[in-house]
Amino acid sequence: MSEIDRLYRYRSLLTGRWAVPRHEILSTLEISLATFKRDLAKLRDRLHIPIVYDRELDGYRIDGAVPREELPGLWFSQDEILALLTIQNMIAQLEPGLLGPKLQPLQQRLDDMLSSQGLDAQTLAQRIRLVQAGKRRLPLKSFEAVARATLERLQLRITHFNRQNGETLERIISPQQLVHYRDNWYVDAWCHLRHGLRSFAVDAISECELLKSEAREFDPELVREQMKNGYGIFGGEVKDWARIRFNAERARWVQYEQWHPEQIGTLHPDGSYTLEIPYSDERELVGDILKHGAHVSVISPGSLVRLVKEQLGLAMGLYGE
């Protein structure tokens, strides 16, 4: 029996009855007294399992003063521990100053469990690297207030800066869901000022106050459906479908990208690729088209073609003759 399998067996032994005599543990697990002592030290010191010896009952048990659901995750397999630690390292890299302190206790527990199996958590962490682009600084206070309001279903009074028009407004919102999109956080919420569902960048919220009023509720599936209808973070009712063609060189990458859940992609004999996607707001879509430069052209609709041409003309104007 492997060590991890044996440690798992302690759970069934110590939770099935009030107290288990030592001789019964040795017999059931087929281990020596020395092995039992080593297991006991590991369970207590490294994995923080509150195993106590009850003199009255002459046996070992898990301390009943500790709620059972709060016992640490000893019962994870090695693969599960590795998966959890990998996810935690990714989260810590995504928001090092935001979630790090909250995850530190879990980090230490996972490190202890991996060490008990002869694995080096620090070495694993060095093998995971996230490269981020376009990430904006996120105020901790705003994020925590928005997250709490979203989970506790409460309204928020926020001061929000609209980057498109440069306007700062105070408004009350009913948060529906938090979204991590392109390395930045957004909250989809019902705006009581505009009387509609809107998406707000959390980093654009300078002030926020948690209110006692309950948030206006919408079916989560309906919210997700409405907010994902159009391309990108600016969801809403579909305005039109864009038809975009990429040359053969750029198609080698774009044909494997998902721009929208309902996109239609066609790979042509010459290697070029046509992408059709629904959109409700041109802002993000135009930016993503322009970043492909001379490798892409908009086929339709005409309004989107004219807008892209206009943006290209303005860009050319910055360079004079």
**Residue 181: what residue type?**
Y
For 295-304, the pLDDT digits (tens) are 999 999 999 9
Q: Is the pLDDT of residue 73 over 60?
A: no
Percentage with pLDDT > 70 across the chain: 78
Instruction: Give the span between the Cα atoms of 29 and 6, in whole angstroms.
Output: 7
What pLDDT is recorded for position 71? 43
Instruction: Give the span between the Cα atoms of 180 and 188, in whole angstroms.
Output: 11
CATH 3.30.70 fits 240-317, yes or no: yes
What pLDDT is recorded for position 318? 93
Mean pLDDT calculated for residue range 149-155: 94
Q: Is the pLDDT of residue 68 over 50?
A: no
Mean pLDDT calculated for residue range 10-38: 85
Whether the pTM exceeds 0.75: the reply is no
With contact defined as beta carbons under 8 Å apart, do 272 and 247 qualify? Answer: yes
Q: Is the pLDDT of residue 66 over 60?
A: no
One-character DSSP codes across 45-112: IIS---EEEETTTTEEEE-TTS-GGGS-STT--HHHHHHHHHHHHHHHHHSTTTTHHHHHHHHHHHHH
Mean pLDDT calculated for residue range 192-197: 93
More confident residue, 135 or 114: 135
Place of tokens 């973070």: 233
Evaluate the CA torsion angle 296, 298, 304, 309 in order and state its sign: positive
What pLDDT is recorded for position 222? 83
Would you state the torsion angle of the CA atoms of residues 89, 94, 100, 104, taken in this order, to the nearest 10 degrees?
A: -20
Instruction: Give the span between the Cα atoms of 36 and 58, in whole angstroms.
Output: 16
> Would you tell me how many other CB atoms lie within 10 Å of the CB of residue 224?
15
For 226-238, the pLDDT digits (tens) are 777 777 776 678 8
Which residue, among 273, 271, 319, 310, has the nearest Cα to 290 in the 3D structure? 310
Class at the top of the CATH hierarchy for domain 3-70: mainly alpha
3 state SS of 164: coil
Q: Mean pLDDT check: name the lowest of 34-48, 247-261, 268-282.
A: 34-48
What pLDDT is recorded for position 65? 56
Average pLDDT in the chain: 83
Residues 6 or more apart whose Cβ sits within 8 Å of residue 215: 149, 153, 154, 155, 174, 175, 176, 190
Q: Confidence band (pLDDT; 50, 70, 90) for 149?
A: very high
With contact defined as beta carbons under 8 Å apart, do 305 and 290 qualify? Answer: no
| β-bridge mates for residue 197, sequence order | 190
Residues 6 or more apart whose Cβ sits within 8 Å of residue 303: 240
45's tokens: 């010191």
What pLDDT is recorded for position 245? 98
Q: Confidence band (pLDDT; 50, 70, 90) for 48?
A: confident
Q: Mean pLDDT check: name the lowest of 89-103, 107-121, 233-247.
A: 89-103
**Residue 303: what residue type?**
S
Q: Mean pLDDT check: name the lowest of 102-116, 154-168, 261-275.
A: 102-116
Q: Is the pLDDT of residue 142 over 60?
A: yes
With contact defined as beta carbons under 8 Å apart, do 111 and 46 qualify? Answer: no
What pLDDT is recorded for position 313? 94
Which residue, among 116, 88, 114, has the nearest Cα to 102 in the 3D structure? 88
Distances (CA, A) of 40 to 8, 36, 106, 154, 287: 13, 6, 22, 46, 60
What pLDDT is recorded for position 117? 61
Q: Mean pLDDT check: name the lowest of 85-89, 209-213, 276-280.
A: 85-89
Q: Is the pLDDT of residue 139 over 90?
A: no
What pLDDT is recorded for position 320? 79
Class at the top of the CATH hierarchy for domain 144-221: mainly beta
Evaluate the CA torsion angle 64, 65, 69, 73 in order and state its sign: negative
The b/e string for 288-317 (b: 16+ C-beta within 10 A; e otherwise) is ebeeeeebbebeeeeebeebbeeeeeeeee
Q: Is the pLDDT of residue 182 over 90?
A: no
